[in-house]
Structure 1
Amino acid sequence: MNRFFASAALAALTFTTCLTAPASARTPEDQFVVATTMNNILTLDPAAITGRETVQVLNNIYDTLVILDEDKRILPRLAESWEIAEDRMSVVFHLRKDAVFASGNPVTARDVVWSLTRLMKINLAQSSFFKSRGFSAEGSERQFQALDDHTFLLTLPEPNDPLMLLMLLAQNGPGTILDSKVVQSHARGEDLGAGWLTLNAAGSGPFLLGEWASNEHILLLRNDGYWGPAPAMWRIIVRHLPESQTQRLMLRRGDIDVAYSLQAPDLKALAADDEITVASTPGSGFYYLAMSMKDERFQNLKVREALRLLIDYEGLDRAVMPYYGKLHQRPISTGAMGLLPDPGYRLNVARAKALLAEAGYPNGFRVTLRALSEDPFMKAATAIQNTLTQGGLQVELITGSGDQIYGAMRDRNFELLIGRGGGGQQPHPDSNLRSMAYNPDNSDAARLTNYQSWRVSFYDAKLNRMIEEALLERDPATQIRDYEAIQIHMDEVAAPIMPFSEVVDTAAYRADVEGMIVSPWVSRFEGVTKNR
């Protein structure tokens, strides 16, 4: 039995003992215990993952060419430097020469080429980030090239902002670099290692995958052969604890170090505890009210303007959204270039009624409002149902699971919907606008379900051109003005996806934990320590 599997077996035995033993006062100094909801962790194949919880796990097992820090700055990782060509149609990455995979194999530019080519060929969820920017399996040989062992050339298939591409490469999923030799040795037929990678890993990160029991726990072990600084923690235990009250109790007792899936009442209670830190940071995307432009009522500008004034933004922010979101009315994330101040929309029932009357609906109309049957969606939907009713609408609330609610949106078969989304994983306006406003083909047959603007049947040729031109603008000052103009235009046309809150990521952790990064998209546990 080799060193890795021997240590994994020992750790698994110790972990099982930990789960069955009586609760201790505090977790060990050199082990970090994370509580989260693992319902969305269905595979560990980087090409197939969905959801921030899986990205958080992969951030500790795999490396990318570059990373984003908690301030969303692009920093070196496997690539120690890079140059963007003058024509902005290619980027050359210079890989560090001391990086090795967990297997001991050196990290080479050929592994980068193979990983990105596999992503496009396997054509699963994470390939959409690159497919929407012109990359393809057929073009991989031109788009991804190894110039030598430590030099990788990325060639853009169509004009784009290279900064946006760097941000994509920083995210585990689209940017994950795999040990090509190990994965290929486990390939079966034409699956490119997909079957093996579902439950296994082949990365170069600071931790190794020790054990994964679906909807129970994930065990990560310190990678003693890691090319970077050694993590302080020798073991990370990620536990599936879906009940918020259970997480709160265990955090207070010291049985876990950090809790990621807490509801607002439990977060509020923990915020008053001196031994607990509750921290929030801007997440990705927005909570919004969406309306289907397939419905002729919502094709009327005055109706959309009326509904925009039948949202109690401040009331939602105060009573419903704490720890979930923060008041935000623009389609661009905080920190991204060109973000304008909020336009300052407020609940204005009288003006909304007047607009509805001008639109031909003096007595309002009947409408359905869909929302997930969980917080904060249910509470937000109930509040918005109330204010829409004040405006004269008769609103039937429909609640259900993600398939029932977002499935109807993907099928373009809904009227009104409370949703969450809108890009933002990359701190670039195009990440938001490509999701919320851009729609190159509004036909039903196009099935552009990754574009929320397609889901709501919103097509604006001028807006499409503005988004395309802003992305390609080379002068930074002009590019900022272009993104400002896009926001003004979206206000003028009352775009049918109306943000009322920006998603925030919130976690509660023991006060002796240091080096904690809250955002799951950029969180890494290699810098975590305990001050005891």
Structure 2
Amino acid sequence: MLRKRIVAALVAVTLGVAGCSPASEPSSGEQVLRYAPAMFPVSLDTHKYAGEEAVQTAIQQIMEPLVRVDDGKIVPVLATAWENPDPNTWVFKLRSGVKFSDGTPFTAKDVVASYERHKKLDGPLVPLYSTVTSFAATDDQTVTVKTSKPLGTLLSSLTLLFIGPAAKINTDGFFNKPIGTGPFTVSSFKPDEKLELAANPTYWDGAPKLSKLEFVNIPEVAGRITGLENGEVDVLTQIPPDQVGSVKGSDAITYSTTPSWTYYFDWFNSNRKPFNDKRVRQAMWHALNLEGTVKDLFGDLASVAQAPLAQGVIGAPKLSPYTYDPAKAKQLLTEAGYPNGFTTSMQWPLEGGPNIRALAQAMISDWAKIGVTVKPLEKERAQWLEDFGKLNWDMNLQTNVTGTGDADYTLARLYVCTAKRNGYCNPALDKALLDARSSVDQAARPKLYQQAGKTIWDDAVGIFPADLASNAAVRSRVQGFVMPPSGRPLFAKVSVSGS
């Protein structure tokens, strides 16, 4: 009996240690953090997959851009200063004394080589540089960019251009184990499995406190949550609304939400009746109890929108939400010649956003109360994309993210007449948006976006139900973790303690 009790006690101790110490537990003094992202990078080639959030999240631990967005402002990273000697010229002064993790000095040639590789691969962000005529190293510490016409959005575009060493960036296999100036180096990378990073002890902004940073691929949400609960994972992000309860309320886990650059919108096809009439579009918006719907469906993961793009984006105006007023909605329909309502349809992509089907159903229910019958059209993504591009729809519901954190990325890309995205065309809006794009005065641009945003809002080009929040759950041993609005966390200043 005594022997059995001793064995049982030893098993209990062993299991207890295993519960807080996964198989690859670090040796004494090491700080290891394990991150299980919702999407795992298929590659580390940031120039080829420039628009992929998972790739950007991983690569920014290793390689760095000239500038980044922080708290709605452009801040220095590898560039310390910039100026416009004339409206068609940008001159960037680079940070001195910076070295790549292999000891190679960082110079302007590396910036140029990275830009040229990105341009050659013709990825999804290359159009952002369409007016750039030259991108040159004036000297080792200076990069000069020339444009055919003023390009005020260059700074925000450069937040997504990550810099590698000119002598190696074009060699075969470089992005299997890329070299950068960032806080971490690549120990090993297996696509769709694991990314293991080690601290860069010579990082110019101070060596990270973490010894190792591991990206672990756990495809199922339930599996990621279980990993967090038992200590195999330290950080989770993008937790679906219906799973938030699983990570809340634990003393060992801290759950938080932060604003993001992602939002919902429901466009009207202004080429089709009755949505060619502004009064009808406004009536559809006034008919929605968005405050109640957003609270019920998303809790603290969304807020009622205040602009045709998310708050926190550079240039995002803050406008007054449409009031929930079914009587006013009916009055506007009557004025527009639809006293008895009408029948229409709304399409959305299958699994096109958190609770998208429930959001669509709530909106359709509200519209029925003012006599508008809306046929729901949930479509497979391929079919939805085809119909969306051909304007083969009455209303279109989806999410969108302002990738660069700059209003131009959303507003001037989607709402100018030449975009032909939703049948709406307004020359005055075009002028405001293109003036904002052309202005190199970063203080003047938000004023133009305020004007443009108000026009889109007042004309009800679409309905903007909600800004979506980012969320994260971290174990209590993690300190310094911050979830930025881009949804791409940086781990340079994060630390861990204990097991």
User: Which bracket does the TM-score occupy, shorter chain normalised?
Assistant: 0.7 to 0.9
Contact in 2 for aligned 1:289/1:499 (Cα 8 Å): yes
Q: Which residue of 2 aligns with 1:395?
A: 374
Segments of structure 2 that go 5 or more residues without pairing to the other structure are 1-16
1:367 to 1:185, Cα distance in 2 relative to 1, 3 A: closer
Q: Mapping of 1:58-97 within 5 angstroms?
A: 58-69=59-70, 71-79=71-79, 81-97=80-96
Whether contact under 8 Å (1:115, 1:176) holds in the other structure is: yes
Contact 1:91 1:153 in 2 (8 A): yes
Shift in CA distance, 178/476, structure 1 to aligned 2, threshold 3 Å? closer
Change (3 A) 1:353 1:422: farther
3-state DSSP class of the match of 1:397?
strand
2:337 to 352, 356, 360: 360
Q: Which AA in structure 1 matches 2:66?
A: L
1:469 aligns with 435
The residue that corresponds to 2:492 in the other structure is: 526
SS at match of 2:464: strand
Q: CA contact under 8 A between 2:61 and 2:490: conserved in structure 1?
A: yes
Q: Which residue of 2 aligns with 1:493?
A: 459
Correspondence list, 1:439-518, <5 A: 439=417, 441-442=418-419, 454-472=420-438, 479-495=445-461, 497-518=462-483
Listed one character per residue, the Cα deviations across residues 278-316 of structure 1 (whole Å, up to 9, x for unaligned) are 222221131111222232332122221122123221012
Secondary structure (helix, strand or coil) at the match of 2:115 reads: helix
Residue 165 of structure 2 corresponds to which residue in structure 1?
Answer: 179
CA drift of 1:473 comes to 5.2
Query: 1 CA distance for matches of 2:306 and 2:388?
Result: 21
Match of 2:7 in 1: none
Secondary structure of 1:181's match? coil
Quote the Cα distance in structure 2 between the aligned partners of 1:105 and 1:477. Answer: 37
Contact kept in structure 1, 2:63 and 2:182, CA below 8 Å: yes
Match of 1:287 among 254, 264, 287: 264
Q: Is residue 2:236 matched to residue 1:259?
A: yes
Is 1:146–1:153's contact at 8 Å kept on the other side of the alignment? yes
> 2:195–2:214: 8 Å Cα contact kept in structure 1?
yes
Q: 1:235 maps to which residue? A: 212
Q: Deviations over 1:370-425 (max 9, x none)?
A: 24336321221121121122232332323244434344323322222221115263
> Equivalents in 1 of 2:37, 2:460: separation in Å?
37
Q: Which residue of 1 aligns with 2:107?
A: 108
Q: Which residue of 2 is the match for residue 7 of structure 1?
A: none
1:60 to partner: Cα distance = 0.4
In the TM superposition, residue 437 of structure 1 has moved relative to its aligned partner by 2.4
Please point out which of 416, 420, 428 is paired with 2:395.
416
Partner of 1:56: 57
- d(CA) in 1 for partners of 2:316, 2:114: 34
Instruction: Tell me how far apart the structure 2 counterparts of residues 242 and 323 of structure 1 sit (CA, whole Å).
Output: 24
* Matched residue SS, 1:67: strand
Partner of 1:203: 180
Q: CA deviation at 1:251?
A: 1.4
Secondary structure, aligned partner of 1:463 = helix
Comparing 396-405 with 110-119, greater Cα deviation is found at 396-405
Could you tell me whether the CA contact under 8 Å between 1:44 and 1:197 is conserved in 2? no
SS for the counterpart of 1:254 is coil
- Paired AA for residue 53 in structure 2: R
Q: What do you get for the CA RMSD once the two structures are aligned?
A: 2.7
Give the residue type in structure 2 aligned to 1:120: K
The 2-side partners of 1:96 and 1:384 are apart by 51
User: Cα distance 1:472–1:421, how it changes in 2: closer, same or farther (>3 A)?
Assistant: same
Where 1:321 maps in the other structure, the secondary structure is helix
Contact preservation (8 Å) 2:66, 2:78 = yes
SS at match of 2:195: strand
Question: How much has 1:508 moved relative to structure 2?
Answer: 0.9
SS in 1 for 2:428: helix
Instruction: Determine helix, strand or coil for the equivalent of 1:319.
Output: helix
For the Cα contact (< 8 Å) 2:311–2:317, is it kept in 1?
Answer: no
Q: Cα–Cα, structure 1 residues 240 and 63, in superposed 2: closer, same or farther, change >3 Å? A: same
- Residue 150 of structure 2 aligns to a residue in which SS? coil
5 Å-filtered alignment, 1:210-359, equals 210-336=187-313, 339-359=316-336
Partners of 1:391 and 1:197 lie apart in 2 by 60
Distance change (3 Å), C-alpha of 1:422 and 1:226: closer
Residue 457 of structure 1 aligns to a residue in which SS? coil
Alignment size in residue pairs? 473
SS at match of 2:125: helix
1:168 and 2:167 correspond? no
Distance in 2, Cα, partners of 1:486 & 1:102: 44
Amino acid at match of 2:476: A
For residues 320 and 59 of structure 1, do their structure 2 counterparts lie closer, same or farther at Cα, with a shift above 3 Å needed?
same
Task: State the distance in 2 between where 1:476 and 1:226 align.
Answer: 30
Cα distance in 2 for partners of 1:38, 1:480 equals 33
1:119 partner SS: helix
2:416 to 438, 451, 455: 438
- Equivalent residue letter for 1:386: S
Identity %: 23
Corresponding residue of 1:451: none
Distance 1:104 1:436 in 2: 44
What are the superposed Cα offsets for residues 45-73 of structure 1, whole Å, 9 maximum, x if unpaired? 2122233222111110111112333x244
Kept after mapping to 2: 8 A contact 1:61/1:206: yes
Q: Bigger shift: 106-115 or 339-348?
A: 339-348
The TM-score with structure 2 as length reference comes to 0.86
> How far apart in 1 are the matches of 2:389 and 2:466?
22
Offset, 1:323: 4.6
Letter of the 2:164 counterpart = L
C-alpha spacing 1:339/1:83, structure 2 compared with 1 (3 Å): closer
Shift of 1:276: 1.6
1:130 shift after superposition: 2.0
- Give the 3 Å change call, closer, same or farther, for CA 115–82 of structure 1 in structure 2: same
Unaligned runs of 5+ in 1: 1-20, 187-195, 443-453
Contact (CA 8 Å) 1:438, 1:467: kept in 2 or not?
yes
The question of whether the paired residues in 1 share the 8 Å contact of 2:295 and 2:302 is answered with no
Alignment partner, residue 357 of structure 2: 378
Q: Distance in 2 between matches of 1:24 and 1:526?
A: 24
Please give the secondary structure, in 1, of the residue aligned with 2:382. helix
1:378 match: secondary structure: helix
